[in-house]
Chains A and B, each alone.
Chain A
Amino acid sequence: MPNEPTPGYRVVLEQFEGPLELLLNLIEREELDITEVSLARVADQFLAYVAEREDIPLSDLAGFLSVASRLILIKSRALLPVLSFTEEEEESIADLELHLKLYQKYRAAAGKLQVLFGMGRAVFGRDSFLGVESVFYPPQSATGATLRDAFASLLGDIPIKTDLPVEEIRRIVTLEEKIFHLKESLTERATASFHEFIGEDADRVTVIVSFLALLELIKQRYISVTQEAAFGGIHMERLEARR
């Protein structure tokens, strides 16, 4: 694993371990089957890895956080069997198991392909017209218009390079941003509810990032929070005297 900054972004991408790959490696290293129990066992290792790796591309961070959040759910149930989960949470745990098993199948298939590649059973076709001299023989149908069309479709093939990653990054709310918003909304009012802050239709990643922002602000002693009941609303209060 490279310690110094790699000059080429591509190299990093090629060697990059995705969340599923990482999780499967951890499970297979322990020689476990893919079950909720074994997921709970490797949860800590997964979280530690994500915390250590600082070079996870922003575009993949959401994937890591989504897997991490589900591992935390699984782990908390392993520790506290009385916890009951919502239907959605149960589903997301089942999905992770399912997805991982599927990925495992194709990874095994990749191994078989590798064996096939090494078997030396390649076949050969004739390189047709090898050595045939070239003659200028333009097709009758080649007109300015067809050439223009061909060139236009060629241009259409060139991927628009920068737009896609930018879009992806925008979609993810950064932790700093959330901390800033959270501070801001608590400047206007001394108290606020976390539920209101994240809004009705926040996606999973936004909720996770918002929650991390909340934890960070507690750490900074900027706010204090109270929660009446497990899974109840979280009430945030700005701490006045301290910074």
Chain B
Amino acid sequence: MQPSPIQSLEAVLFITGEPVRLKDLAKTLSVDAKALDELLHVLEERYAQDAESAFFLVRTESAVRLTTKPGLQPLLEDLSKQSLQSELSRAALEVLAIVAYRAPISRSEIEAIRGVNCSFTLRNLLLRELIERKGNPNDLRGYLYSPSSRFLEHLGLASIHELPDFETLSRDERAEHVIQEALQNENTAE
């Protein structure tokens, strides 16, 4: 029997456990990015429709992970050794919010919004795996920060778009203005 595409997708996600890069997933299943996206939607929908299913998909920009559904935390917390405790400082929450709503974003852009140095806080969030970074194609000296899969898993969100007020906060022309202004000042000062 030839496995169906959905069946293959589910099998790969199940066996991998960890976040799977979309690129690798498409290659394994021999489909293109668009077809993969459709398959993921179908699976996502199926889990959502079935109230008794325990599964859920968490998607970042570049990866997807099969997880348990939100609401099972009390049952599973003791089993999984993940500690979800330890409060985040106010500064950490602010930086996390800016990264979450405006990803991918550079350190200088985050600092433009907060008006204060954020490098220590960013490092802290990186260590806790709540954010991740990759090289900045526009500036080789810096990085671009995005929320991690773990961040979404902590909050029980399927994707970053489920954050409260995501549409308004991620597209704010005032933010563009402030960031542009600050970056200009920085460039002229150097």
Residues of A within 8 A of B (CB): 10, 13-14, 16, 18-21, 57, 59-60, 63, 67, 95, 98-99, 101-103, 105-107, 109-114, 116-117, 119-129, 171, 203
Contacts and interface: CB of A to CB of B under 8 A. Distances in A.
B13 to A, nearest CB: 9
Contacts of B127: none
A203 B100 CA distance: 34
Contacts of B156: 119, 121-123
B18 interface: yes
A60 to B, nearest CB: 6
A209 to B, nearest CB: 14
Contacts of A128: 15-18
B84 A122 contact: yes
B168 to A, nearest CB: 9
Nearest to B80: A124
B51 interface: no
A123 B69 contact: yes
B117 interface: yes
Interface stretch (B25-33, B37-45, B174-182): B174-182
Interface in B102-116: 113-116
Contact of B115 (A19, A119, A171): A19
Contacts, number: 141
B36 interface: no
Where chain A touches its partner, the secondary structure class is helix
Contacts of A111: 93
18 contacts: A13-B117, A21-B115, A63-B115, A98-B177, A101-B174, A106-B94, A106-B98, A106-B113, A109-B169, A113-B97, A116-B164, A122-B82, A124-B73, A125-B66, A126-B18, A127-B17, A203-B188, A203-B189
Contacts of B97: 106-107, 109-110, 112-113
Interface in B55-106: 56, 58, 65-74, 76-77, 80, 82, 84, 88-91, 93-94, 96-98, 100-101
B18 A102 contact: no
Given A116-B155, A122-B154, A102 B189 contact: no
Contact of B113 (A103, A113, A119): A103
B94 A125 contact: no
B67 A14 contact: no
A239 B44 CA distance: 81
Contacts of A99: 115, 178
Given A99-B115, A109-B169, A126 B189 contact: no
B165 interface: yes
Contact of B178 (A102, A112, A123): A102
Nearest to B84: A122
